[in-house]
Structure 1
Amino acid sequence: MMRSLHRWPGLLAALLLVVLSLSGAALSLFPAAERLTSPQAATTLSVADLAARIEAAYPQLEQIRRAPSGRITAYWFEDGAPQAAVIDPATGQEIAAADPNPFERWLTNLHRSLFLGDGGRLAMAAGAAAMLVLTLSGAGLVARRAGGWRRWFAPLRGPLAGRLHVEIARVAAAGLLLSSATALWMTASTFDLLPDGPTPPALLNDASGRTGASVAAMEMLRQTPVSELRSLSFPDPGDAADILTLKTDRGTGHLDQGTGAVLAWSGLNRWQRLSETIYMLHTGQGAAALGLVLGVMALGVPAMAGTGFALWLAGRRGRPRIRGNVAAGHAETILLVGSEGGSTWGFAAILHAALSDTGQTVHAAPMSAFDPARYRQARRIVILAATYGDGDAPASARGFLDRLQALPATPSTPLAVIGFGDRGFAAYCAFAEAVAETAAAKGWRQLIPFATVDRQSPQDFARWGRALGAAMGIDLVLSQLPSPPAALPLTLLSRRDYGADVQAPTAILRFALPAIPLWRRLARHGFGRFRAGDLLGIVPDGATVPRFYSLASSRRDGFVEIVVKKHPGGLCSSRLLELEPGDTMSAFLRRNPGFYPGRGRAPLILIGAGTGIGPLAGFVRANIRHRPIHLFFGMRHPDSDLLYGEELSDWQREGRLHRLVAACSRGRMPRYVQDALREEAAEITRLIARGARIMVCGGRDMAAGVSAALTDILAPAGLTPALLKAQGRYVEDVY
């Protein structure tokens, strides 16, 4: 619900909000500029002295105004023609014309009404309302993603567009909330929708009927400092009944022009002060610094509009089109999907179509939209859940477990849970399993036992589908397989072979960048944008499931590079190691944002063994800012397995690699990478204390040994790998 409340106002009102925010940001510059360029009155200068100085220069003075910036403007008649000028309060003389800045006036009309009068004001009010809804719903989503309001600035993970969207929102939310709320107040005031202010006071004393008193001698004007002045209006000297009107920050007074006596005084009430405060907060008039801050925050709107649209578009592309998706309140079967990269949505689409073909009414939605109160006609709920990283919830399932545990009553509708993953990972289907266990602990009745699908296996999925169909009393056939993304041909440029002496053939394969359309390069889709740590997907002949290899290069390197070790009976590794320069292999890209080194100057501790050196070498290659990188690399023997040996030496000389610690499992003094870590325990503890981030890439057994070694190393400091993982300072890419 909150995602929809945030998404659709943003998409529908994006252009209006961009105009509103950019014009508001530009307008925020004028109060500050006016403040800097306007001469300021001395703190001891009174209104009486100021008025006397100006009146001496311009005898037919009609009015003096002081802007919140401190600028003094005088209005008078000269030879029957009205005149106006900006005044130097020290001399009472003209220093500049009072003509308004035409660009500021144009920009103000754009910001307030789109040049359309009342209709434009209503449109801009609608934009302000949309911004208010977006800010409130966005703040709720940020808090949900961060893990609560107290973790508002917790580290983020995920694609760049998503992280940038949230980072900007974290900073700009307060300013946007203030700007949108005050804009709605001002619109209501413009259309007289707020209570009226107080009526002008009746004169307490009759006017004397005299004229000609000197303003310099009037006591009220002498007691009022210029810093409190808003305006002073002079009477018509030919009308003895006319009076002076003084408006200040404290209220409005009426003075006898013949004696200077106060005929009436009206102080500002609370309602007026509130309205003026809101005007000041919105325009920055009287608070130039605040106006600039709000203006800078407003610039976040076009940035968030761009990143928000990119996220929406990526979500649309990541999900297959599900036809005939029935509303949640009218569906017999509810499908809830937890997916990080989009592949689980493909299985959900297959299940949705198969169930619909049997006459079922089906509703599919992300797990984050879980709301049992909406499922009024549901007869079963089916959860298809992938796992992110080390057992975490994927993107479309964040907050599901918390919502499930907080349910006041267990749903009566039976539940089926299926997990998607890769058995090569230690946390295979861990999140899906946690969902099933939490539901069972709540007493939620299981429609069929928990099951898993390994490496997108069509056989596993079809087998589970038959069990689900039997429980529903229907013949359910799930025979399709989600199609991988469109692959492009990659041409091998070069190869470097290793490992022959230790019977472990390994090669660094470098491919040319594939030719892609200009719009893809500009939009940075697919091979238009990638970095070390992303995944290259290859579907070998005779296989239905892609194999993934971590990239050792980024787009800016100008090539696509991976490290491949031949596995006995491995279709993909065998095919890749048969390639010679000039041969081609079709592949596609998959983002892997959970395994990026991130920005900043904090040290990096890179730990890898064998082909796990690939993405780590890519990180070092990209380290042009000389971030301190400490690389721990495990191999069998340096004469045959020192992958990237020459480059590592060069990178050390260039300052891209601070330190290399190699561990060889064969030779006179065999040791593994975890042994090297224990030998460097003091240095690792020191680096962790400085905020270092640990990145581990390689085989599952190696990663487990590294975790055990780090557990012992960090224990005296009161830290654990699990705690560092929770802080985003320990990430793994294991296979």
Structure 2
Amino acid sequence: MVRVLHRWPGLVAALLLSILALSGAALSVFPTAERLSAPQPVAGQTVAELASLVLARHPGLEEIRRSPSGRITAWWFDGGKPGSAVIDPATGADVGPADPNPTKRWLTTLHRSLFLDDAGRLVMASGAAAMLVLALSGAALVARRNGGWTRWFARLRGPGAGRLHVAIARIAVPGLMLSASTALWMTASTFDLLPDGGLRPPAPAAVSSETGLSPSQMAALRDVPVDSFRKLGFPYAGDAQDVFTLSTDAGTGLVDQGTGRLLSWADPTPWQRMSETIYMLHTGQGAAVLGLILGLMALAVPVMGATGALIWVAGRRGRPVLRDNAPAARARTVILVGSEGGSTWGFAATLARALREAGQSVHVAPMSGFDPAHHPCAERFLILAATYGEGAAPASAKGFLDRLARLTKVPAAPLAVLGFGDRSFPAFCAFAAEVEATARAMGWASLLPLDMVDRQSPQEFARWGRALGDALGITLELDHRPGRPAAESLTLATRRDLGAEVQAPTAILRFALPKASLWARLTGRGLARFQAGDLLGILPEGSSIPRFYSLASGSRDGFAEIVVRRLPGGLCSGQLMSLQPGDRVQAFLRRNPDFHAGRDRAPLILIGAGTGIGPLVGFIRANDRRRPMHLFFGMRHPGSDFLYREDLSRWRAEGRLSRLVTAVSRGERPGYVQDALRAEAVQVAALLAGGARVMVCGGRDMAKGVAQALDEILLPVGLTPAMLKAEGRYVEDLY
């Protein structure tokens, strides 16, 4: 619910909020400009002295007013003609016109009403309400993402747009809450929806009916310093019953024009003080520095609008359009989907379609938004969950287990969990298994035992569908036909072949990038924008199931480069290894934000073997800032499969690579990359104790050996690989 409250006001009102924020940011500059340019009074100058100086120059004086910025303005009549000017309080002389700055007046009208009078004020008030909802819901989402309010400034992970969105929000949200809530207060006051906060001193019992006393002789005015007064209204010429009206920070009073005596006084009420404070907080008048800070925070709104839209677009990628999705509150069958690349959504769509044809009402939703309260009519829950990495939740299932653990009561409707994965990986369907175990431990009734689908097998999915149909008492045939991901044609530009002498034929394949449209560059679609460590999905001929390869380059390099080793019987690797320059493949991008080098200055310890060097050399290639990078690389024989040998030598000379340590598994002194780490134990421990990060890429057996070696190396400094992983300082990309 919080995510929905955050998403739709932002998407629907993005343009209005940007106008509101940008105009407000521009207006925040004027209070400071006025304060810096306003002539200052003489030290200790009183209102009596100021009024006498101005009155001497303008006998028809009607009012003197001091703004919160300190600027003093006077209004008068001279020969029946009105006049006004900004006043130098030290001399009483005119120093400039009193008319508002035309730019400020234009911006103010735009900001308050879009030049549409009262209707425009209501529109802008709705924008302020949307901003308040966005700020409150955004704060809740930031706290949820970071693991609680106490971790508000915890380290951020994930795609660049998401990290930028949250990083800005963590700073700007308090200011946006303040600006939006004060704007709503002021709008309510404008439409008389709040009590009148004006001060009205009681009418005096009697006045002297005398005239002609100079302001400099009035005791009530001699007691008020210029720095604390707000307004002095003069009596109407020739009316002996009229009085001076004096407003100060302390209140408002009436002064006899003949005697200078204070006739009556009214202190500000708490309501008026609150109204004045809210006006100050919103406009910056009287708090110029605060106004500038709020103006800077307002500049974050269009940036967060753009990044928020990119996050939404990215979240929709790979998710099928569910045209017949039943409302959540009325659905009898609820399908919850945990997907990383989008393929599990396709299986969910097939399942939903078959259930609808069998007469079921079905609602499909991401696991990340799970809330039993949304599904009061549910008779069964079906979870289709992929696994990310080493048993982690996929993108659309983030936070599901936390939500489940917080439930005080599990749903009465039974649950069936189906996992999707690759049986060749040790963590095959590990996330689905964890969901199943957690649900059973909490007492959630089972509709079917946990089942798993290997390598997106349509046959295994159909088998599970028949079991589900038996449990529901219906015939259910799931004929799933995986759709091919939207791909682009890449042309092989160059290739470098290695490894034949050690029976491990390997190639470094460099593809030319297709020309990207402006829209693709702005939204990051296709191959317009990527980093080393992202994944290139290759669609082999004769298969709809892609194979993924870590990119050894970024889009700034102007090409897409991967390292491929021919696997016995490998469909995709065999086709790639047969490519010649000019040949084409169908490919698409899958982002892998958890395996990016990042932009901080912390040293990197890069560990890889064989083709696992791919993304690591991509990090080194892009290291323009000469960040300390230490590469540990394992190979079979330096004369055969020393990948990127010449490049690494050049990058060391350029300062992009700080140190290179190699391990050779075949030769006089065979060893593996974990042995190389042990040989450099003192240096590695010192780097990690000083804040370095570890990035491992390659086979799972290699990664297991690396973790064991680091466990030994870190023991003397009181660290463990598990501790580094919890801090985000140990990441792996394994195959």
Conserved 8 A contact 1:633-1:663: yes
CA distance in 2: counterparts of 1:201 and 1:347, whole angstroms: 75
Aligned equivalent of 2:85: 85
- TM-score, normalising length: structure 2: 0.97
How far off its partner does 1:43 sit?
4.7
The corresponding residue for 2:645 is 645
| Counterpart AA for 1:542 | G
SS of 2:329 mapped into structure 1: helix
What's the secondary structure of 2:703's corresponding residue? helix
| AA at the equivalent of 1:535 | L
Aligned partners of 1:43 and 1:226 also within 8 Å: no
1:101 aligns with 2:128: no
Q: Aligned pair 1:27/2:27, yes or no?
A: yes
Q: Structure 1 pair 558/140, CA: closer, same or farther in 2 (3 Å)? A: same
Aligned partner of 1:182 in structure 2 is: 182
RMSD: 1.7
Deviation at 1:353, TM superposition (A): 0.9
CA distance in 2, matches of 1:261, 1:722: 79
1:74 maps to 74
3-state SS of 2:560 partner: strand
CA distance in 1, matches of 2:34, 2:432: 60
Match of 2:405 in 1: 405
The residue number in structure 1 matching 2:112 is 112
Q: 1:506-525 alignment to 2 at 5 Å?
A: 506-525=506-525
Alignment-derived partner of residue 222 in structure 1: 222
Moved more, 155-164 or 645-654: 155-164
Give the secondary-structure state (helix, strand or coil) at the position aligned to 2:220.
helix
Correspondence 1:376 to 2:387: no
Once the two structures are superposed, the pairs formed by residues 488-507 of structure 1 within 5 Å of their partners are 488-507=488-507
- 1:46-445 aligned within 5 A: 46-197=46-197, 200-445=200-445
The Cα of 1:437 is off from its aligned counterpart by 0.5
| Structure 2: stretches of 5+ with no match in the other structure | none
The whole-number CA distance in structure 1 between the counterparts of 2:702 and 2:101 is 69
Q: Indicate conservation of the 8 Å contact 1:335/1:384, yes or no.
A: yes
- The more displaced of 383-392 and 237-246 is 383-392
Query: Any idea what the Cα deviations from partners look like across 1:148-182, whole Å, max 9, x if unmatched?
Result: 11111222222222222222211111011101100
How many corresponding residue pairs? 735
Amino acid paired to 2:693: R
Equivalent residue of 2:69, what SS? coil
The 8 Å contact of residues 215 and 221 in structure 1, kept in 2 or not, is answered as yes
Alignment of 1:548 with 2:548, yes or no, is: yes
Shift of 1:396: 2.1
Q: Distance in 2 between matches of 1:201 and 1:92?
A: 29
Q: 1:562-595: per-residue Cα shift (whole Å, max 9, x none)?
A: 0011111111111111112222222222111111
In structure 1, what residue type is equivalent to 2:575? R
Divergent runs of 4+, >6 A: none
Read off the aligned partner of 2:37 and give its amino acid letter: T
Task: Pick which of 434-443 and 455-464 moved more.
Answer: 455-464
Q: C-alpha distance in 1, partners of 2:730/2:41?
A: 59
Matched, 1:466 2:466: yes
Residue 255 to residue 357, structure 1, CA distance change in 2 (3 Å): same
Letter matched to residue 287 of structure 1: A
Asked if the contact 1:145/1:398 (under 8 Å) is kept, the reply is: no
Give the secondary structure class of the aligned counterpart of 2:150: helix
Counterpart amino acid of residue 444 in structure 1 = W
Q: For 2:272, what is the secondary structure of its paired residue?
A: helix
Please give the secondary structure, in 2, of the residue aligned with 1:11. helix
Deviation at 1:205, TM superposition (A): 4.7
- Secondary structure of 1:260's counterpart equals coil
Aligned-pair CA distance for 1:474: 2.3
TM-score scaled by length of structure 1? 0.97
The structural deviation recorded for 1:522 is: 4.5
In 1, the alpha carbon distance for the partners of 2:71 and 2:484 equals 66
Q: 1:733–1:82: structure 2 CA closer, same or farther, 3 Å change rule?
A: same
Structure 1, residues 161-211: CA drift from partner, whole Å, max 9, x if none?
222222221111101110110011001101111123366232345211111
* Contact 1:211/1:237, CA 8 A, preserved across alignment: no
CA distance in 2, matches of 1:424, 1:212: 102
Structure 2 residue 25 is the aligned partner of structure 1 residue 37: no
Give the superposition deviation at 1:276: 0.3
Deviation at 1:379, TM superposition (A): 1.9
Quick one: which amino acid aligns to residue 315 of structure 1?
A: G
Secondary structure class of the residue paired with 1:639: coil
Contact 2:310–2:523 under 8 Å retained in 1:
no
Report the Cα distance in structure 2 between the residues aligned to 1:194 and 1:416, rounded to whole angstroms.
55
Give the Cα–Cα distance (whole angstroms) in 2 for the partners of residues 433 and 543 of structure 1: 28
Mapped partners of 1:116, 1:711: distance in 2: 68
Residue range with higher mean Cα deviation, 382-391 or 691-700: 382-391
CA-to-aligned-CA distance 1:515-567 (integer Å, 9 cap, x gap): 44453244431111122111111122333421110011111111111001111
Tell me which residue corresponds to 1:634: 634
CA contact (8 A) 1:466 1:477 kept: yes
Instruction: Report the Cα distance in structure 1 between the residues aligned to 2:678 and 2:258, rounded to whole angstroms.
Output: 95
For structure 1, which segment, 640-649 or 81-90, has the greater mean C-alpha deviation from structure 2 after superposition?
81-90
Q: Distance in 2 between matches of 1:86 and 1:605?
A: 65
Which of 58-67 and 347-356 deviates more? 58-67
With over 3 angstroms needed to count, the CA separation of the structure-2 counterparts of 1:410 and 1:630, relative to structure 1, is: same
More off after superposition, 212-221 vs 697-706: 212-221
Residues 455-491 of structure 1: CA deviation (Å, up to 9, x unaligned): 3232332222222222222222222233232222222
Distance change >3 Å, CA 41–CA 716, structure 1 → 2: farther
Gap change, CA 1:231 and 1:350, over 3 Å in 2:
same
Counterparts of 2:467 and 2:361, CA distance in 1: 19
Q: How far has the Cα of 1:237 moved from its partner?
A: 4.1
Amino acid aligned to 2:329:
G
User: 1:646-689 deviations in whole A, cap 9, x for unaligned?
Assistant: 11111111111111111112222222111122222222222223
**Deviation sequence 1:279-304 (CA, Å, 0-9, x none):** 00011111111111111111111111
- 1:551–1:561 CA contact under 8 A, matched in 2: yes
Equivalent-residue separation in structure 1 for 2:330 and 2:461 (angstroms): 26
> Aligned pair in 2 of structure 1 residues 187, 173: CA closer, same or farther (>3 Å)?
same
Percent identical pairs in the alignment equals: 66
DSSP 3-state at the match of 1:70: coil
- Check 1:185–1:42 CA distance in 2 against 1; reply closer, same or farther (3 A cut): same
Other-structure match for 2:665: 665
CA distance in 2, matches of 1:76, 1:329: 68
Q: 2: distance between equivalents of 1:227 and 1:122?
A: 36
Q: What per-residue deviation string (whole Å, max 9, x for no partner) do you get for residues 358-377 of structure 1? A: 11111111112222233233
Q: Are 1:172 and 1:297, in contact at CA under 8 Å, matched by a contact in 2?
A: yes
TM-aligned CA deviation for residue 421 of structure 1: 2.4
Structure 1 residue 274, shift from structure 2 partner? 0.4
1:40-71 per-residue CA deviation (whole Å, 9 max, x = no partner) reads 33452222222222223333322111111111
Contact between 2:48 and 2:218, CA under 8 Å: does it hold in 1?
Answer: yes
Task: Provide the rounded CA distance (Å) in 2 between the counterparts of 1:517 and 1:82.
Answer: 61
2:4, 2:722 → 1: CA distance?
34
The offset of 1:265, in angstroms, is 0.7
CA distance in 2, matches of 1:450, 1:677: 41
Instruction: Identify unmatched segments of 5+ residues in structure 1.
Output: none
Q: Cα deviations across residues 429-465 of structure 1 (Å, max 9, x unaligned)? A: 2222111110010111211111222332323322222
CA spacing shift, 1:602–1:39, aligned 2, 3 Å? farther
Corresponding residue for residue 679 of structure 2:
679
- Work out whether residues 212 and 237 of structure 1, in 8 Å CA contact, stay in contact via their aligned partners in 2: no
- Alpha-carbon distance in structure 2 between the residues aligned to 1:46 and 1:367: 69
Amino acid at match of 2:46: S
Where does residue 17 of structure 1 map in the other structure?
17
Counterpart contact for 1:338–1:397, Cα < 8 Å: yes
